[in-house]
Amino acid sequence: MKKKTGLILGFIVYLILIYVISIFEKSHPDANIKSVYDALWYAIVTLTTVGYGDFYPVTPLGKVTGLFIILGSLGLIGYVIGDVTSRINSYMEKKKTGFFGTHFEGHYVIIGWSEFGRKVADQIFPAGHKVAFVTNSKNDLELLKNLYPHDRCFGMFADYNNIQAYEKVNITKSKAVFVNFKDDTETLVFVLNLKKEYPNLNIIINCSNPDLKQTLINTGTKHVVSRNEVASRMVASYLFEPHVAEYTEDLISTSIRKEDQDIQQFKVINGNPYKGMPYFDAFVQMKKELNVILIGLVIDNKVVKNPADDQIIREGHYLILISCGNDKEKLETVFGTHEGV
């Protein structure tokens, strides 16, 4: 407010000087500044540093006043340039920190950046999905910019506790939200607040302490992943059935190479050629026609690992199948929808 007031007062003084120089000059017989309009033109030419030389003061008092007009012009143009530069820098800084938000839809949101979060993102991007990151460190934003494709990656700097800020990552139109905090207590409080503001989110939690897993599930979160629990199962599998462990690790990783195997899920929509077909018939036809293995269904948000042969595949179900690394685009074309939820 003080800055704005000072600018207004300075501009008023500048206009007064223009009027004053016209008074001093117009009475002199050799003067070329004979009116307020001439004085205004002189000020404009001085302000823009053009310097035509068609108008200039000839009286001593006029020259002194002209000096103040020159200094005022320098100050005014300096202020304008500085203000424009400041606004541009402010805009670029806001854009860099994600202040203006994103229009991503059907994307994934990762809240909290860490090495573990990076490994999760490294599995999502090769599948062609979009990811919006929320971090409380500006240094992470530059790293994200260098790591992932700009058209599918959005980073936002924010206070995690500012729940309303998540509107900027279009969180209500995301497929899933991964909360990646190190402290489980912080995660619990955060998820309760997030669910209060956005009750319909599909939230996945990274849990460090297995003892708190059930408590976190009680928040209404669909999936709570205990890193220690998953890692211990993989280690145990490597100990007594290493080939199964290798196959499992390949299946749960995103396929990149042609020889990679991947477990994928596709929603059954109207137009899916296997809609209305018994499970066993779909299993056989998918193997013959697509060279993929149907291993289960999702019915009413529950995974059915070994459906009955006569289980009818209906619209809204999900197909869970094993495919090769280069089958994704073909399957999306056949099923008429993208991989994932």
Per residue in 179-196, pLDDT tens? 999 888 898 899 999 999
The correct answer on CATH 3.40.50.150 for the domain covering 108-231 is: no
DSSP string, 103-148: ---S-EEEES-SHHHHHHHHHHGGGT--EEEEES-HHHHHHHHHHS
Residue with the larger pLDDT of the pair 281 and 10: 281
All CATH 3.40.50.720 domain ranges in the chain, comma separated: 108-231
CATH classification (class only), 257-335: alpha beta
The alpha carbon of 185 is separated from its chain's Cα centroid by a whole number of angstroms, namely 26
Residue with the larger pLDDT of the pair 214 and 170: 170
Mean pLDDT of 207-227: 80
CA distance 107 to 188: 23
For the chain, what is the radius of gyration of the CA atoms?
Answer: 33
Q: What is the pLDDT of residue 248?
A: 76
Q: How much is the pTM?
A: 0.68
Mean pLDDT of 154-180: 93
pLDDT band at residue 255 under the 50/70/90 scheme: low
SS3 assignment, position 168 = helix
pLDDT band at residue 219 under the 50/70/90 scheme: confident
pLDDT in tens, 43-85: 878 777 676 666 767 778 877 887 887 787 777 778 778 888 8
pLDDT over threshold 90, residue 1: no
CA distance 143 to 145: 5
Place of tokens 């280690």: 235
Residues 117 and 178 sit within 8 Å (Cβ to Cβ): yes
Q: What is the pLDDT of residue 309?
A: 94
pLDDT over threshold 70, residue 155: yes
Q: Are strands 203-207 and 176-179 parallel, antiparallel or unpaired?
A: parallel
Mean pLDDT of 279-306: 92
Q: What is the pLDDT of residue 126?
A: 81
All CATH 3.30.70.1450 domain ranges in the chain, comma separated: 257-335
All CATH 1.10.287.70 domain ranges in the chain, comma separated: 2-96
CA distance 320 to 316: 13
Q: What is the pLDDT of residue 84?
A: 86
pLDDT over threshold 90, residue 206: no
Mean pLDDT of 262-273: 90
pLDDT over threshold 80, residue 274: yes
Q: Are strands 223-226 and 203-207 parallel, antiparallel or unpaired?
A: parallel
Helices vs. strands in the chain: H and E counts, helices first: 11, 10
pLDDT in tens, 104-153: 999 999 999 988 889 889 888 887 889 999 999 999 998 998 999 989 99
pLDDT over threshold 80, residue 340: no
Query: With pLDDT > 70 as the criterion, what percentage of the chain qualifies?
Result: 91
CA distance 248 to 263: 10
pLDDT over threshold 80, residue 7: no
Assigned CATH topology for domain 2-96: Helix Hairpins (1.10.287)
Nearby residues of 59 by Cβ (< 8 Å), 6 or more positions away = 24, 25, 28, 31
pLDDT band at residue 209 under the 50/70/90 scheme: confident
Average pLDDT, the chain: 84
